[in-house]
Amino acid sequence: MSVLIRGGTVVTADETYRADVLCQDGKIAAIGDNIEAPPDARIVDAGGQYVMPGGIDPHTHMQLPFMGTVASEDFYTGTSAGLAGGTTMIIDFVIPAPKEPLMEAYHKWRGWAEKAVSDYSFHVAVTWWDESVHEDMGVLVRDYGVNSFKHFMAYKNAIMADDEVLVNSFQRAMELGAMPTVHAENGELVYQLQKQVLSQGITGPEGHPLSRPPVVEGEAANRAIQIANVMNVPLYVVHVSCKESLDAITRARSNGQRVYGECLAGHLVIDDSVYRHKDFKFAAGHVMSPPFRSREHQDALWRGLQGGNLQTTATDHCCFCADQKAAGKDDFTKIPNGTAGIEDRMAVIWDAGVNTGKLTPNEFVAVTSTNTARIFNIYPQKGAIKVGADADLVVWDPEGSRTISAETHHQNIDFNIFEGRTVKGIPSHTISRGKVVWADGELTVERGAGRYINRQPYAADFEALARSKEYNAPQAVKRG
C-alpha cells in the first residue's frame, strides 16, 4: 500500500517548496512535481497545507512507576494520542530503581512498549553506580541501540544521582560515545526547602514552586555542565524551565562546550499562577518538576529557542489523574509529579510560536523534530523529508483550529494543562511509517505497529572531543 500526498508545500528544517510526496513500504519513495499515483495509492489532498516531518518527542514517561503510583498513560494510549497530534516518534525513559540492574529494567520497559502504535526509543537512566552499571552501559550502547543516559539530579531518596554517579556515568558515556542527559534540580536543596515550606504551614500545591525555585535548577544545570566540561563529554539538559539554567547553557556554548537544551511546550506558555488556584484538582494537576515559572522565564525560553541555545521541544508527558494527585491533598510533596502534553505540543508551539512570528515554519520543524533526530543520531531516518527516510509525516493545516480539552483529547488523563486554549494550526493527517493513521479527526492505529528505533553512538563527534582533550593534555614535568 502506498500513500501519495498531493499538492502540499513541503517544509523541512532547511527548505520550503511545493512537491508531492510518495510513501511506499514505510519509506519516502519519491518527492517531486506531479508524481503519478501507483494503482494501490491512497491519495491525501494537501492543498493549502504544509507537509512536514512528523514530530519527535524526546521526553515522555509512559506507564512510569513513580511516587507510589503508575502513570495512567501506557505506550498504546500515549503513542495514539501522539499521532493524533502529529507526533510520530517518542523517546521514553527506562528508569531502573536503585540497585535494579540496568538490563533488567531495560527489558521490562521494552516489554511494556510492545503495544506502541508509533516508533519509539529509550534513554536509560543511571540511578546508582557499581561495576555492573559500567558494564551494562556498554552492553546497551553496543547491542541495544541506546546512545543516551539520563541522570535525575533531584528526587532524593528515590532515583537521584549524586555527583559520584554523575562523574562515573559521564566518564563511561564519553568512552562509549553516548550522550549524558540531566534533569537539573539540586535534590538536596529541594528536600530541605520542602521541609521548610511544610514547617511554615504551607501544605497545598502553592508550596511546590516555593520548594523548587529557579536558582535550584540553575545550580544543578551549571554543576552538570561543569562536570561534563571536566569529563570532556557533551551534555543534554532536559526540561530547561528558567533563565538560570538557560544562562548556564548559553555560557557553556559560547565557551565552545557542546551542551544542548530542551524545553517543554508547557513551560513556554503556562505560568506559576496555576499553583495558587483555589481548586486543588486544578493546582495539583499542574504539579510537575521543574514547576511552571513566571512570565520572565517563559520569555527567556522563547529567546533560547530563537537564538539556538535551546534546540528541542518536548512534553515530559507523564500522566496522573485526579485520584492519583489526591495522594498529596494534605502534603504537596506527595502529589505525583507530572503533566500531559504529547497530543498538544505541536499545535501549542505552532500557535504560540509560528502564529506570533517567534518561529518560522522551518524553525518549528527544527525544534519539534529535526534537531532531536540530529542530536540523538537518528537523522535522516527520522526528522527529514528525503527519499529513503522513514515515512513519518504530518500534513499541517495552518487554517484549522481546535479548542483543547480533556473532554475531547485522546490522552488517558482526566486533566489538560492547556484546557480551553484555542490553537490555530493543527494536523489534518498524520502518516506513520507510510500509513495514514490520523485523518480529519479519525485515528486508525494498530496496536504494536510501532517499532523500536536503534540509535548508534556518536563516533565522529566524540573522537573530535577526545582529540581536543589530547591537544590540551597536561604534561608531567621531567625532573632529574
User: Footprint of ligand URP on this chain (CB under 6 A)?
Assistant: 61, 183, 288-289, 316, 318, 337-338
Residue nearest to ligand URP (CB): 337
Least Å distance, CB 184 to ligand URP, is: 10
Q: Out of Zn ion, ligand URP, none, which partner does residue 86 contact, by CB within 5 to 8 A per kind?
A: none
Closest CB to ligand URP among residues 243, 325: 325
Instruction: Give me 276's grid cell.
Output: 495558587
Q: Of 16-24, 180-188, 219-227, 340-348, which segment contacts Zn ion by CB under 5 A? A: 180-188
Beta bridge partners of 262: 312
**Residue 73 is a binding residue for Zn ion (CB under 5 A):** no
User: Which of 123, 150, 183, 297 touches Zn ion by CB under 5 A?
Assistant: 183
Least Å distance, CB 183 to ligand URP, is: 5
> In angstroms, what is the C-alpha Rg of the chain?
22
Least Å distance, CB 480 to ligand URP, is: 55
Least Å distance, CB 293 to Zn ion, is: 15
Q: Cα(402)–Cα(409) distance, rounded to whole angstroms?
A: 11
Residue nearest to Zn ion (CB): 183
Closest CB to ligand URP among residues 46, 125: 125
The rounded Cα 263 to chain-centroid distance in angstroms is 8
Closest CB to ligand URP among residues 86, 291: 291
Q: Are the CB atoms for 188 and 161 separated by under 8 Å? A: no
Q: Out of Zn ion, ligand URP, none, which partner does residue 225 contact, by CB within 5 to 8 A per kind?
A: none
- What are the distances in angstroms from CA 377 to CA 160, 171, 370, 381? 27, 20, 10, 9
Closest CB to ligand URP among residues 152, 364: 152
Q: Is 140 helix (H, G, I), strand (E, B) or coil?
A: helix
Closest CB to ligand URP among residues 298, 337: 337
Least Å distance, CB 318 to ligand URP, is: 4
Q: Out of ligand URP, Zn ion, none, which partner does residue 159 contact, by CB within 5 to 8 A per kind?
A: none
Give me the count of residues in the chain: 480
Could you tell me where the DSSP H helices lie in 102-162? 102-112, 131-143
Closest CB to ligand URP among residues 239, 374: 239
What value, to the nearest 5°, has the Cα angle with vertex 58 and ends 390 and 398? 70
CB atoms under 10 Å from CB of 460, counted, come to 8
**Residue 316 is a binding residue for Zn ion (CB under 5 A):** yes
Q: Cα(134)–Cα(86) distance, rounded to whole angstroms?
A: 37
Question: Residue 66: which H helix or E strand, with range?
Answer: strand 65-66
Closest CB to ligand URP among residues 179, 318: 318
Least Å distance, CB 188 to Zn ion, is: 16
DSSP assignment of 69-114: EE-S--HHHHHHHHHHTTEEEEEEEE-PPTT--HHHHHHHHHHHGG
Instruction: Give me 63's grid cell.
Output: 506507564
Q: Out of Zn ion, ligand URP, none, which partner does residue 337 contact, by CB within 5 to 8 A per kind?
A: ligand URP
CB atoms under 10 Å from CB of 473, counted, come to 7
Please report where in the chains the cell 516531518 appears, as a residue: 53
Least Å distance, CB 127 to ligand URP, is: 12
Q: Is 465 helix (H, G, I), strand (E, B) or coil?
A: helix
Q: Are the CB atoms for 352 and 360 separated by under 8 Å? A: no
Q: Is 390 helix (H, G, I), strand (E, B) or coil?
A: strand
Least Å distance, CB 289 to ligand URP, is: 4
Secondary structure string (H, E, C) spanning 275-304:
HHCCCHHHHHHCCCCCCCECHHHHHHHHHH
How many residues belong to the site for Zn ion (CB under 5 A)?
2
Q: Of 74-82, 133-141, 181-189, 400-408, which segment contacts Zn ion by CB under 5 A? A: 181-189
Least Å distance, CB 87 to Zn ion, is: 16
Q: Out of Zn ion, ligand URP, none, which partner does residue 205 contact, by CB within 5 to 8 A per kind?
A: none
Beta bridge partners of 45: 6
Least Å distance, CB 348 to Zn ion, is: 18
Q: Out of ligand URP, Zn ion, none, which partner does residue 85 contact, by CB within 5 to 8 A per kind?
A: none
Q: Out of ligand URP, Zn ion, none, which partner does residue 352 contact, by CB within 5 to 8 A per kind?
A: none
Residues near Zn ion (CB under 5 A) = 183, 316
